[in-house]
Structure 1
């Protein structure tokens, strides 16, 4: 379970989050929607442990563990995963090497031995096939030369292989055509389960047509201002964010 209480965050002296409180239960898919500048991506970065944000007040806990006392690497080892809005290219680092290092780092953090190479290859190929990731893509450096949709599918591949306790999807639908969106959403839905929480951050209802949320939160001015069921996302699609946009955080 992810618990965020009264979170105040700034960057370079500018206040972004203003007393945000949010709980996502185990097994729950929660969606956060809101206008540009409301602080949605900042929330994802702060939970994941990005260092250039200043947490002025509040707490973030995963399964009761204080994440603010943990480094980004330690948070990942606890089972936290972030799907980036704009995945980075890593020239010179082979995708398979990267995936193997990530999986084995998580296993070591749990006190487990490294995954044998034949088992690793089998897992990667099975997961890649479900996400329409070719063997050629797996042979390239991480995300180098990939389209936007290919980069997002690689992010979901990493999530499928790491099987995190809690995953944040920061505008996963950004830049995706409908076919890539469906493929990525299917990969996410395959990971839904009673022991895993998901936080889906998006501007648009269309992603939630494929990843059905249990609860929808509206974020504005750096805090949650309204919550409801999936019907709330439909209402936002129809009416827009005009009533929430004034004074957006950035």
Structure 2
């Protein structure tokens, strides 16, 4: 009798990480290597609040699958509840699209080791992130020089660092704007403009907005970009 109860418990726990009773236009499968017990959440940003779109219980099996519904391609968060363990590496940002997607990662490097597949917007976003990482690395080099110069207070070096930082900022803005301009058919394009260069020159943002395909212009981020440009125009004219 005890064996039967134990077996039934295992089956029940295993079923919790499956999507048999869930419906939606996104079929997400994945694996968190090293995770034997815990809970995953899929969060969606609404206004300024993160709301739970779906939850997945992990109990003895690191593989998972689920289904959930989204109205259009958008950025979501896959978050790990580690229980009592505190960690900053608890959330994966991914651009979800209707269809089949997959997220593979590890418990110890939940964010850093994440691999996302099945989304064209995600592919485009990752191309952007590679270049952004290079720019961030250059900024870290400048920061290191700045910290070393704090002891000597060399004015010439300070001026050199400031000039290089200004040029790096300009490069970042121009690269980001150009990236959005050459990818007008993807919803990630207005998303990048909104999250990376919201304070860019209005003419630049307006050019990005007008370049978007009709479908993307009507999307969540396309509409928000248009609204943001109008807000800034109104504010800066007063």
- With the shorter chain as reference, the TM-score category is 0.3 to 0.5
TM-score in terms of structure 2 length: 0.33
Higher relative contact order (CA 8 A, sep 6+): 1
Larger Rg: 2
Calculate the TM-score normalised by the size of structure 1: 0.32
Structure having the larger proportion of residues in helix: 2
